[in-house]
């Protein structure tokens, strides 16, 4: 085998998520939140014009980091992530549509904190600290870059996602979240979701 071929194969093997992402996102016009609002009209029935999900199974998108929204849409479109028809919906979106829609939703005011069982919330806070969830999701679970905001998110949605990530049914981009969820019990997940939902 020629050295060049070996290099090509190795090149694919070492192709990191971030390199893949940057290629997916190159050669683009700047994200346009005004165009994004118009393009998001078909999302409003479920995710709201204000970015608040219309039922507990539907995630809030308000104040989600733009890159997190874009990346999840890319995963749905590529069928790496499936769920409740979102993979079908994402088929119609171009990269530019995704960036514009993400710019719109990420700029909206964050969802309000929800009240809940104080003891469960405190328990969730302690687990989050012990498991270093904040090191990636931010001190107040506000999210950053490609990492989702959890603060003020629907508790029901968070529980479903954590269980799906733990079981491997939802495959995460680089395995970091998969390992973070692996050791969590159902009780831990309940407490973490209550804590996250109670943050603003
Ligand atoms: C029929 C209702 C419905 C419509 C319409 C809809 N969504 Fe969704 N969306 C959902 C549900 C339910 C989920 C959670 C699915 C899952 O479990 O993966 C979701 C998940 C998402 C997520 C992942 C959020 C996260 O925190 O990971 C994004 C991003 C998203 N939708 C964007 C959109 C956009 C953009 C549109 C319009 C182009 C749209 N959705 C239209 C119901 C809908
Ligand atoms: C090393 C970084 C890292 C750590 C630590 C981490 N996460 Fe994550 N988390 C991520 C990334 C990256 C994603 C997006 C995964 C994907 O879809 O590819 C994510 C996604 C999630 C989601 C899905 C959010 C949504 O909107 O769908 C939840 C819920 C979550 N994490 C909760 C937690 C909790 C709770 C902890 C602590 C037990 C934790 N994470 C620790 C990086 C991390």
pLDDT tens-digit readout, 91-138: 999 999 999 999 999 999 999 999 999 999 999 999 999 999 999 999
| Range 23-28 average pLDDT | 58
Answer yes or no: is the C-beta of 73 below 6 A from any ligand 1 atom.
yes
Question: Is 24 among the domain residues?
Answer: no
The distance of Cα 92 from the centroid of its chain, to the nearest Å, equals 19
- Looking from the CA of residue 127, the nearest atom of ligand 2 is 38
For the cut 60, the answer to whether the pLDDT of residue 1 exceeds it is no
Band (24; pLDDT cuts 50, 70, 90): low
Model pLDDT, residue 17: 53
Answer yes or no: is the C-beta of 108 below 6 A from any ligand 1 atom.
no
Cα–Cα distance between 41 and 56 in angstroms, integer? 20
Total domains in the chain come to: 2
Q: Are residues 143 and 172 in the same domain?
A: yes
Q: Which of 48, 81, 106 delimits the end of a domain?
A: 106
Q: Are residues 102 and 125 in the same domain?
A: no
- Write down the pTM of the prediction: 0.90
CA distances in angstroms from 79 to 20, 83, 93, 164, 170, listed in the order given: 16, 9, 13, 15, 11
Choice between 171 and 16, residue whose per-residue pLDDT is larger:
171
| Range 134-153 average pLDDT | 97
Are 198 and 118 in contact, with CB atoms under 8 Å apart?
A: no
Question: Is 83 among the domain residues?
Answer: yes
For the cut 80, the answer to whether the pLDDT of residue 27 exceeds it is no
| Range 163-174 average pLDDT | 92
Model pLDDT, residue 11: 40
Give the mean pLDDT of the chain.
89
**Pocket test residue of 33, 47, 171 for ligand 1, highest count of atoms within 8 A of CB:** 47
Query: Rounded to the nearest 5 degrees, what angle is found at the Cα of 128, between the Cα atoms of 122 and 129?
Result: 95
């Amino acid at each position: 085998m020629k050295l060049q071929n070996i290099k090509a194969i190795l090149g694919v093997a070492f192709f990191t998520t971030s390199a893949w992402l940057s290629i997916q996102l190159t050669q683009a016009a700047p994200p346009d939140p005004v165009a994004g609002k118009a393009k998001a009209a078909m999302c409003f029935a479920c995710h709201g014009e204000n970015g608040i999900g219309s039922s507990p199974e539907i995630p809030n998108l308000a104040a989600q980091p733009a890159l997190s929204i874009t990346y999840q849409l890319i995963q749905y479109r590529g069928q790496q992530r499936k769920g409740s028809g979102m993979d079908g919906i994402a088929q119609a979106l171009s990269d530019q549509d995704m960036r514009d829609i993400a710019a719109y939703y990420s700029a909206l005011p964050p969802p309000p904190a929800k009240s809940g069982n104080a003891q469960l919330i405190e328990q969730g806070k302690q687990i989050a600290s012990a498991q270093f969830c904040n090191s990636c999701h931010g001190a107040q679970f506000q999210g950053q870059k490609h990492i989702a905001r959890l603060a003020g998110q629907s508790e029901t949605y968070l529980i479903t996602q954590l269980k799906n990530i733990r079981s491997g049914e939802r495959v995460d981009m680089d395995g970091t979240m998969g390992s973070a969820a692996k050791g969590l019990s159902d009780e831990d997940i309940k407490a973490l979701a209550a804590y996250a939902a109670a943050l603003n």
